[in-house]
Structure 1
Amino acid sequence: MTRKTLYTRTSFVAAAAALCCLLWGSAFPGVKLGYEWLGIGTDDVPAKLVFAGYRFTLAGAALLAAARLLGVRVFRLARRDWLRVTALGLFQTGAQYVFFYIGLAHTTGVKGSIMNATTTFFSVLLAHFLYANDKLTANKLAGCLLGFVGVVLVNFHSGLIDFAFRLNGEGFVILAALIFSIAAIYSKRLTRRLDVMAVTGHSLLIGGIALAAAGWLGGGRIAAMPPRAAVLLLYLALLSSVAFCLWNLLLKHNKVGQVSIYNFLIPVFGALLSAVFLGETILEWKNLFALLLVCSGIALVYRPGGKSAEAAAKSAER
């Protein structure tokens, strides 16, 4: 069985895509636990950037090392390709996670995982204007509306009277999702010509170094690394490298819609794992209903029969 045949088998695609979503969903409680175990305060932005920088530098280095062992010439890129990969790393990994790490510190893991699902809807809307063969359909429009209603609903208190939305919390998580949607379009173009593992590894490594440098320049420090925090950091790094690489390989050998329909599992796993590991409330009816709306919206967007958004080729981690 060839590698391409393996990646296109329906059962393998389903299992691998679900695994990616589980890993990305686990990043929401993982990052918040990291803040707690490392003693990083809510407003200590530089230390958050250092934490993020360590994670993605390790992730990129691990992925490039794995690619090199598999025979990929990860450092043989043309000058213009180096510039493009660097730009991708600074934007997709660097800029996105500045907003993601700050935003997640000012909201719950449950809300953050649901808000982050807006990546799919932004991708669909962007694709309408960028791709002639990927215009909005009734399904896509209805799915986007359902999803955004769910995002609005989760920001209300249980009595649906007070609207709790903070720019540096929920707003930053949504902004991170928008940045990732834009960067995914650029990344998709690069991986048509270049090796997936090389592009992903360099993007993570370059973005990680930029995040750590920004944190250090801002005075951010991680004074001590308890054993459990070190294990968590290693896990977060590996989940990024494994999930990104596996997801991109699935996309390379399958239709985007066949893979991306599993995006609805990310907020499900993120909310459930946040409830388990952070003790957050998910059983409030508005949280459950918001989660149902968001997942239904994603499923409707990728409903068989319509063309899927090219820009939704990559979902995000967190």
Structure 2
Amino acid sequence: MGKPTSPVVDLNAALLLLLLAAVWGGSFFFAEVALRELPPLVITLFRVSLAVPVLLAVVVLRGVPITRSLRVWRAYLLMGALNNAIPFSLIFWGQTQIESGLASILNGTTAMFGALVAGLLLPDEPLRANKLIGAALGLAGVAFIMGPDALQDFNLTNLAQLAILGATLSYAFASVWGKTTLAGQPPLMNALGMVVCSSALMLPIVWLTHGVPSLAFQPATWGALLGLAVLSTALAYLLYFAILARAGAANLMLVTLLIPPFAITLGAFFLSERIGIQAFAGFGVIAIGFAVTDGRLFARLRQRR
């Protein structure tokens, strides 16, 4: 067996990984602020639509060709639904019932469920035992967070927690769809295509459910929407692809465990949120599930032995 890959390739990649965790962790905080004035679907629309001009400017400045292929744009349409419109809406609705920190902890199951779905659907990513065990531990962590009472007294809080899990499954299917249909496209064009198409999807949905959104928001709400769009979406995509090029997809998975500490800290300092010990224990089980799914930590321990 060769030497296992280092969890972080170099210092620059590590700093970029922390920055990505910060901006994605910040999305839960920004959403919590915006939810004080806006409904979840409207926040989703603004998050993706305000990110379009930023990513378009980056694509143009870097000379990335904008595809004219209808086949590719159809792929972007489904990718925009699976990776943006559906999960963002589910997470934002979930945050109307649970704390932002708890939402980020549940979102930490993304890597495990992503590996499980890929193992089931992609022939080049076989479903090995570690993926099944990791997913089982992820579900165990979620069950620990929800508690045994959820089976007897199911309420909106439990439904919100399931909504976050629904978002993680949507991300998992988006990953498979992207690998099978968009692997040959420029990464920045993929990011732009996703937000353009998810904006097109959200516009009629918001119009039908809430009418034409007003722009007369409080300054704090505008700040939160810009934070979601510019930092947690546009900048996050740029960081994502930079880390992917430097450290690879396996190391990029680490960000799912780094997001909750940022979200919990922001929620505690600025929103007076308090996460119970049960949630932290559940996060610990989820973290173990991630380590099992990833496999490199145990490979290192076996090598040392």
TM over 0.5: yes
CA drift of 1:121 comes to 1.7
- Residue 311 of structure 1 corresponds to which residue in structure 2? none
Given candidates 214, 232, 237, the residue that maps to 1:244 is 237
Letter of the structure 2 residue corresponding to residue 115 of structure 1: L
Structure 2 segments unaligned to the other structure (5+ residues): 1-7, 300-305
Q: 1:101 aligns with which of 76, 92, 95?
A: 92
Q: Which runs of 5+ in 1 are unaligned?
A: 1-7, 41-46, 308-318
User: Is the aligned partner of 1:286 residue 2:278?
Assistant: yes
CA contact (8 A) 2:146 2:158 kept: no
Judge conservation of contact 1:196–1:249 (CA < 8 Å) in 2: no
Residues 305, 291 of structure 1: CA spacing in aligned structure 2 closer, same or farther, 3 A cutoff? closer
Q: Distance in 1 between matches of 2:138 and 2:227?
A: 30
Are the counterparts in 1 of residues 140 and 285 from structure 2 also a CA contact under 8 Å? Answer: yes
Q: Deviation of residue 163 (structure 1)?
A: 6.9
* Residue aligned with 2:228, SS: helix
CA distance in 2, matches of 1:130, 1:62: 34
Conserved? CA contact 1:98–1:211, under 8 Å: no
Structure 1 Cα separation of the partners of residues 77 and 228 of structure 2: 22
The 3-state SS of whatever aligns with 1:112 is: helix
Q: Secondary structure at the match of 2:137?
A: helix
RMSD, matched Cα = 2.7
The alpha-carbon deviation at position 20 of structure 1 amounts to 1.0
Cα distance per residue 1:2-54 (max 9 Å; x no partner): xxxxxx95222221122111111111121011111x2x3xxxxxx42122101
Alpha-carbon contact 1:109-1:271 (below 8 Å) kept: yes
Partner of 2:293: 301
Task: Report the CA distance shift for 1:98/1:199 in structure 2 as closer, same or farther (over 3 A).
Answer: same
The residue type paired with residue 130 of structure 1 is L
Give 1:132 shift. Answer: 3.5
- Structure 1 249/306 Cα, relative in aligned 2: closer, same or farther at 3 Å? farther
- Looking at structure 1, the residues matched to 255 and 153 of structure 2 have their Cα atoms a distance apart, in angstroms, of 33
Contact preservation (8 Å) 1:117, 1:267: yes
Task: State the AA in 1 paired with 2:91.
Answer: F
- How far off its partner does 1:137 sit? 3.8
* 1:51–1:133 CA distance, 2 compared to 1 (3 A): closer
TM-score by length of 2: 0.84
Tell me how far apart the structure 2 counterparts of residues 48 and 210 of structure 1 sit (CA, whole Å). Answer: 15
Worse-superposed segment, 219-228 or 99-108: 219-228
User: Is 2:49 the counterpart of 1:57?
Assistant: yes
Q: 8 Å contact 2:50–2:229 — kept in the other structure?
A: yes
1:93-136: CA deviation from partner (whole Å, max 9, x where unpaired) = 22222322222222221221111122112111112222344334
Normalising by structure 1, we get a TM-score of 0.81
- Any conservation in 1 of the 2:42–2:206 contact (CA below 8 Å)? yes
Say if 1:56 and 1:204, in contact at 8 Å, map to a contact too. Answer: yes
What's 1:267 paired with?
260
Q: 1:82 is matched with which residue: 56, 70, 73?
A: 73
2:137 counterpart letter in structure 1: L
Q: 1:233 aligns with which of 221, 225, 228?
A: 225
- Equivalent pairs counted in the alignment come to 289
Q: Name the amino acid aligned to 2:20.
A: C
What letter is aligned with 2:114?
A: S
Question: Is the 8 Å Cα contact of residues 21 and 265 (structure 1) preserved in structure 2?
Answer: yes
Question: In the alignment, residue 268 of structure 2 is paired with which amino acid?
Answer: A
Tell me which amino acid in the other structure corresponds to 1:14.
Answer: A
Distance (Å, rounded) in 2 between the aligned partners of 1:186 and 1:202:
14
Letter of the 1:264 partner, please give it: L
* 2:131 matches 1:120: no
Partner of 1:145: 136
**Corresponding residue of 2:269:** 276
- Which of 51, 58, 71 is 1:66 aligned to? 58
